[in-house]
C-alpha cells in the first residue's frame, strides 16, 4: 500500500475534521498506512496527486445496497457491486439480507465478509430479523452478531409479526446496531406503479401511499412506545415524511433515508413502460418528490441511500412482469448534487453530511471524517456535466433510471482504506 499525498485540494468537510485547511478552503491530505496522517510527515511520499481543481470529501456511506451475493450473482456480486460503489465515491455500504440463502445464518454472514476482503469498498452486513424473511420465525440475533453483522432488517419485506419486530429492536439497542425498516403493509402492497391516474391509464395494479404509510406509522409507534431507535428505509411519500417530522419533534428515536430517484424523478417516467423505472416504493408524484427535498432540507430525512437493486436485462425486458429495483451507486452523488446543490437547496457540505457523515453515525461505523488517524476513505470530484450511459457503468446490471440524463458533478478518484480503487482523472 502506497503512502499518498494529495496537494492543494479543496476540502468539503461537514464535520471540519480535516487537518491544516487554509483560508481558501484547500489543504494537503496525507495518507499513510491506510489512514489519514499529518502532511508534515509526507516527505518522500510514493505517490503525489495534484489536487488543484478537485474537491475532496469523506467517502460516501450507502445505507441500502443489494449485492445479490450469494445466490443471484448473474445480477451482481460482492466484487462487481463494490467496483460500482467505488466509481460513485462510495467507500462503505450496508448490504441487505434478501440473498439466496437469506442472511439468517452465521455461515452466510461469514461468506459475505470473507469475500468482501478483496472488494473495493467496506462491506457491512445486515442480518435478517426472521428466517428466510418469512416474517414469523425469529433468527438468533446473538449468533448473527457474533458472526459479524452490523444491522438488522428484513428489507425487501416488512417484519409481519410485530412482537418479533419489538424483540429485534430491543436486542439491536443492546448491541448498539440499527434496525432498518422496510415500511410496507403487505395487504395493500403488490402494485407495479404509484396508484392513481397513472396506474389506471397503464391498466396495471397501483401501489398506494397507504401501503408505505401504514408501515411507517407502525414502526414509529413501536419506537415511541418502547423508547427504542428505528431507521426508516427508502421514504417516498409526503405523508410518511410528515409522520417522521412529527415523530422527531416529539423526541422519537427515528432516523430516515430517501433515495436519489425519489428526489429527481416522478411517476411520469413510467409512461415509457420501461421497467428500469419500476422500483419499490415506486416513483410517485411531484408533491412527493418535493416533500423528499424539503425533508432533506429541514432534517426530517437524515440520509440519502441508493437501494441499489441490480437485475438482468432479461428480467427487466417485460414492463409488467419485471422485478422491482434499479441500480444507483455510481450515480448517487451525481444525481443528488444535480438536484440539491445545483438547485441551491443544500450546500455541498450539507449534501456530504447526508451521504457520508449521517449514514456513518446511524450505522455506528468509521466514516464521514477526514481526521488524522481515521481510515483513509475519501473521494475527489469535480463540477462537470456528463451524460449517464448504462453501458459504461461498472456493475453487472445496467438497469438505471438515470440513463440519458445529464449530471452536474463527476466522481474522479476514490480511495478506500488508503488504496486507490477508482481513478478517472484523465
**DSSP secondary structure letters along 255-321:** EEEE-HHHHH--GGGGGG--GGG--SSPP--HHHHHHHHHHHHHTSS-EE---B----TTTTSSTTT
Query: With contact defined as beta carbons under 8 Å apart, do 275 and 322 qualify?
Result: yes
DSSP one-letter code for 43:
T
> Which grid cell is 176?
448498539
Q: How many helices (H) and strands (E) does the chain have?
A: 12, 18
> Which grid cell is 297?
432540507
> Which grid cell is 80?
462487481
Other CB atoms within 10 A of residue 155 CB: 25
Cβ within 8 Å of residue 1, ≥6 positions away: 33, 34, 418, 419
Whole-angstrom distance, CA of residue 11 vs CA of residue 372: 14
CA 139 to chain centre: 25
Cβ within 8 Å of residue 115, ≥6 positions away: 69, 77, 78, 79
- 69, 154, 307, 377: which one is catalytic? 307
- Compute CA distances 122 → 181, 230, 359, whole Å: 22, 23, 14
Is 307 a residue of the active site? yes
- Compute CA distances 197 → 174, 222, 239, 268, 273, whole Å: 46, 34, 19, 11, 15
Angle at 119 between CA 113 and CA 125, to 5 degrees: 30
Q: Which residue has the cell 468509521?
A: 366
Whole-angstrom distance, CA of residue 140 vs CA of residue 104: 8
Query: With contact defined as beta carbons under 8 Å apart, do 400 and 393 qualify?
Result: yes
Instruction: Name the β-bridge partners of 49.
Output: 6
Which of the residues are catalytic?
Answer: 307
Amino acid at each position: 500500500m502506497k503512502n499518498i499525498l494529495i496537494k492543494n485540494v479543496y476540502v468539503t468537510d461537514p464535520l471540519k475534521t480535516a487537518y491544516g485547511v487554509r483560508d481558501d478552503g484547500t489543504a494537503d491530505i496525507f495518507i499513510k498506512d491506510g489512514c489519514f496522517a499529518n502532511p508534515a510527515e509526507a516527505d518522500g511520499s510514493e505517490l503525489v496527486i495534484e489536487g488543484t481543481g478537485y474537491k475532496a470529501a469523506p467517502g460516501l456511506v450507502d445505507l441500502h445496497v443489494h449485492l445479490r451475493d450469494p445466490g443471484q450473482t448473474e445480477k451482481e456480486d460482492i466484487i462487481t457491486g463494490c467496483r460500482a460503489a467505488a466509481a460513485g465515491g462510495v467507500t462503505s455500504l450496508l448490504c441487505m439480507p434478501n440473498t439466496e440463502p437469506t442472511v439468517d445464518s452465521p455461515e452466510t454472514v461469514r461468506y459475505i465478509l470473507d469475500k468482501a476482503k478483496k472488494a473495493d469498498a467496506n462491506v457491512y452486513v445486515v442480518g435478517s430479523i426472521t428466517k428466510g424473511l418469512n416474517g414469523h420465525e425469529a433468527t438468533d440475533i446473538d449468533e448473527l452478531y457474533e458472526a459479524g453483522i452490523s444491522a438488522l432488517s428484513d428489507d425487501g419485506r416488512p417484519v409481519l409479526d410485530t412482537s418479533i419486530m419489538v424483540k429485534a429492536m430491543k436486542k439491536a439497542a443492546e448491541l448498539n446496531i440499527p434496525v432498518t425498516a422496510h415500511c410496507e403493509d403487505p395487504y395493500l402492497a403488490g402494485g407495479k406503479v404509484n396508484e392513481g391516474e397513472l396506474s389506471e391509464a397503464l391498466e396495471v395494479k397501483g401501489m398506494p401511499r397507504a401501503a408505505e404509510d401504514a408501515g411507517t406509522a407502525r414502526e414509529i409507534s413501536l419506537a415511541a412506545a418502547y423508547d427504542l431507535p428505528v431507521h426508516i428505509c427508502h421514504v417516498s411519500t409526503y405523508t410518511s415524511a410528515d409522520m417522521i417530522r412529527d415523530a422527531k419533534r416529539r423526541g422519537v428515536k427515528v432516523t430516515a433515508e430517501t433515495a436519489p430517484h425519489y428526489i429527481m424523478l416522478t411517476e411520469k417516467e413510467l409512461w415509457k413502460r420501461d421497467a428500469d423505472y419500476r422500483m419499490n416504493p415506486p416513483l410517485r408524484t411531484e408533491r412527493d418528490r418535493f416533500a423528499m427535498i424539503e425533508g432533506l432540507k429541514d432534517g426530517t430525512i437524515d440520509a440519502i441511500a441508493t437501494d441499489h437493486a441490480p437485475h438482468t436485462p432479461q428480467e427487466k425486458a417485460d414492463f409488467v412482469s419485471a422485478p422491482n429495483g434499479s441500480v444507483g451507486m455510481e450515480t448517487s452523488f451525481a444525481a443528488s448534487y444535480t438536484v440539491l446543490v445545483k438547485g441551491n437547496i443544500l450546500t455541498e457540505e450539507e449534501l456530504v453530511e447526508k451521504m457520508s457523515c449521517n449514514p456513518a453515525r446511524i450505522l455506528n461505523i468509521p466514516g464521514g471524517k477526514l481526521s488524522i488517524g481515521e481510515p483513509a476513505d475519501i473521494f475527489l470530484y469535480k463540477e462537470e456535466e456528463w451524460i449517464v450511459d448504462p453501458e459504461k457503468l461498472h456493475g453487472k446490471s445496467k438497469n438505471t433510471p438515470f440513463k440519458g440524463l445529464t449530471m452536474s458533478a463527476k466522481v474522479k478518484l476514490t480511495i478506500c482504506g488508503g488504496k486507490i480503487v477508482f481513478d478517472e482523472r484523465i
